[in-house]
Amino acid sequence: MFKSQGPVGLKRFSTAEATVAAAGKMREKTLTMETLNPHVKAVEYAVRGPIVTKAGEIERDLQEGGKQPFTEVIKANIGDAHAMGQQPITFLRQVVALCTFPELLDSPTFPEDAKKRARRILQGCGGTSLGSYTASQGVDFIRQDVASYIEQRDHGVPADWENVYLTTGASDGISILRMLVSGQGSSRTGVMIPIPQYPLYSAAITEMEAVQVNYYLDEDNCWALDINELHRAYQAAKQHCQPRVLCIINPGNPTGQVQSRKCIEEVLHFAYEENLFVMSDEVYQDNVYSPDCEFHSFKKVLYEMGPEYFNSVELASFHSTSKGYTGECGFRGGYMEVLNLDPDVRAQLIKLRSVQLCPPVSGQAAMDVIVNSPHPEEPSYARFHEEKNAVLGALAEKAKMTEQILNGVPGIRCNPVQGAMYAFPQILLPPKAVEEAKALGMHPDMLYCLRLLEETGICLVPGSGFGQREGTFHFRMTILPPKEKLKVLLDKVRDFHIKFLKEYATLEEQLR
């Protein structure tokens, strides 16, 4: 590069450098920790926090021949199904492959129903190419397919495709929260979130300068949502903010519970009475394992409550390609359905979606396969459902195994994993361990998870990253690893916990 400039260019650079050196100072950086937006500094996201950073360092050390008391790091910190060994659903990958490389449409290797869907998707893309922008809300007919899927899922409850917005995963849809944040001081928007919660919500609230309003799930009742707790949290929050938003995660992350229909109806009645905008995170709607539980969408229950509710309560619900039985996190596909939005506000939402141009088109294609899966008369139907049932069946087995093994460990109590992809057990931490953690300036369950990682190679997330009642300690672990590896993981957790108790607890504490 300098040769092309010639000697004059080199001389100019040297002169400028000498001038700065003579002045005795270098140019200061504009962006420093002092000038950084303080709300960015305040954002925390435990799922990819310091424990995960440490796990990465240990992995690199192992790869470079370093010595550790284990041979591999087992990451059970995040719901990344394919990274944990889950195999892709063949039909979904076939359709996306055909869309990505249309020359394959002439190949006899691919079934006709996959080719049919790929051609249809490409016809909805500019230049019949997956590489073109789409409308900001997504490809129209994919939004129509989503609406048809919702109607079928909810047994005939009407769905208007104009209320459907394709998103970059569910996380992107949840950014609708930005539209709800306003006011100053005691009129500032309060956002009610469950505790424990998925840290995306607390991070978004912090970044948007809203007020976080915690309501606690009932751990003694399988993490159920108690309507009295909602009232308590709402009334307390009104002293310093204006609660406008109620967030629900069903099935639960990190807690794995599936809310009952009665509970959902009580929540919607509460939202109706208090004039709250409801955000229902339903990305785990296919992940229900307990035979005593059933997924009920908030929209369906709202409809069954009658027109007074269905035509007035503002409700945004979310789904994603990342969870369920497909586990396609990397495609970043998803959708949100928004009900009862003021028409002028809807125009503002479309404006905001336009700023982001459009969601990834490959993710839109993947989402379309999920909502428009093979029909019984099509050639891919049998294989598709065999693979889908195998994934969900394996997850159900692992959910039960996780609960049983953890509950067999002294000092660990795990609620049934009714749904989603995680267990969130409570762990007994002796006072000596709690005191040591505080002396080190960290949460006690952070100390526990850090020691677990360093001694066993198991990477979990401390419960403090999700929120928990004062004086209780937890960790979140995914049930996604293959059954054999999950069994190894759980056995290592059991052995570590017993060793940890022996190190820190008195004999009396160990026997509790």
Instruction: Write out the DSSP string of 290-310.
Output: -TT-----HHHHHHHT-HHHH
Examine the pLDDT at 142 and tell me if it is beyond 50.
yes
Q: What are phi and psi of 264, to 5 degrees?
A: -60, -40
pLDDT at 426: 96
pLDDT at 287: 95
27 by Cβ neighbours in 10 Å (0-12 / 13-18 / 19+) ranks as exposed
511: number of Cβ within 10 Å = 9
pLDDT in tens, 305-344: 999 999 999 999 999 999 999 999 989 999 999 999 999 9
pLDDT in tens, 414-453: 999 999 999 999 999 999 999 999 999 989 999 999 999 9
Examine the pLDDT at 9 and tell me if it is beyond 60.
no
pLDDT at 194: 95
Query: What is the C-alpha to C-alpha distance for residues 115 and 143, in angstroms, rounded to an integer?
Result: 20
- When pLDDT is cut at 50, 70 and 90, the band that residue 10 belongs to is very low
Examine the pLDDT at 165 and tell me if it is beyond 70.
yes
Query: How far, CA to CA in Å, does 72 sit from each of 60, 62, 65, 489, 493?
Result: 10, 8, 12, 11, 15
Q: What are phi and psi of 478, to 5 degrees?
A: -85, 155
Query: What is the C-alpha to C-alpha distance for residues 399 and 421, in angstroms, rounded to an integer?
Result: 8
pLDDT in tens, 220-247: 999 999 999 999 999 999 999 999 999 9
Contacts of residue 245, Cβ cutoff 8 Å, sequence gap at least 6: 177, 180, 189, 190, 191, 192, 210, 276, 277, 278, 279
pLDDT in tens, 469-501: 999 999 999 999 999 999 999 999 999 999 999
Contacts of residue 449, Cβ cutoff 8 Å, sequence gap at least 6: 51, 460, 461, 462, 475
- When pLDDT is cut at 50, 70 and 90, the band that residue 457 belongs to is very high
Q: What is the mean pLDDT of the chain?
A: 89
Assess whether the previous peptide bond of 196 is cis (omega < 30° from 0): yes
In CATH, 142-371 is 3.40.640.10: yes
What is the C-alpha R_g of the chain?
26
Examine the pLDDT at 2 and tell me if it is beyond 50.
no
Q: What share of the chain is helix, strand, coil (3-state, %, to 5)?
A: 50, 10, 35
% the chain with pLDDT above 90: 66
* Strands in 393-440 per DSSP E: 412-413, 422-423, 426-427
pLDDT in tens, 24-41: 667 788 777 777 777 676
- When pLDDT is cut at 50, 70 and 90, the band that residue 143 belongs to is very high
pLDDT in tens, 265-279: 999 999 999 999 999
- When pLDDT is cut at 50, 70 and 90, the band that residue 203 belongs to is confident
pLDDT at 494: 95
3-class secondary-structure state, position 372: coil
Q: Is the dihedral of CA 463, 467, 468, 471 positive or negative?
A: positive
- When pLDDT is cut at 50, 70 and 90, the band that residue 20 belongs to is low
% the chain with pLDDT above 70: 92
- When pLDDT is cut at 50, 70 and 90, the band that residue 172 belongs to is confident
Examine the pLDDT at 82 and tell me if it is beyond 70.
yes
3-class secondary-structure state, position 212: strand
Query: What is the C-alpha to C-alpha distance for residues 115 and 176, in angstroms, rounded to an integer?
Result: 35
Query: What is the C-alpha to C-alpha distance for residues 80 and 82, in angstroms, rounded to an integer?
Result: 6
DSSP 121-159: HHHTSGGG-TTS---TT--HHHHHHHHHHHHHHTTT---
Torsion of CA 90, 91, 92, 94, to 10 degrees: 90
Q: Are 75 and 459 within 8 A, CB to CB? A: yes
Q: Is the dihedral of CA 430, 432, 437, 441 positive or negative?
A: positive
What does the block give as tokens for 352? Answer: 């905001």
Candidates 367, 335, 383; CA nearest to 117 is 367
Averaged pLDDT, 121-128: 90
Segments making up each domain of the chain, as ranges:
15-84+388-511, 142-371
* Strands in 32-157 per DSSP E: 74-75
Q: How many CA atoms lie within 13 A of 303 on its CB side?
A: 14
Assess whether the previous peptide bond of 254 is cis (omega < 30° from 0): yes
Candidates 177, 277, 190, 182; CA nearest to 241 is 190
Least confident of 36-40, 345-349, 365-369, 507-511: 507-511
CATH code assigned to 15-84+388-511: 3.90.1150.10
Question: Regarding beta strands 475-478 and 461-462, do their DSSP bridges make them parallel or antiparallel, or are they unpaired?
Answer: antiparallel
Query: What is the C-alpha to C-alpha distance for residues 188 and 38, in angstroms, rounded to an integer?
Result: 18
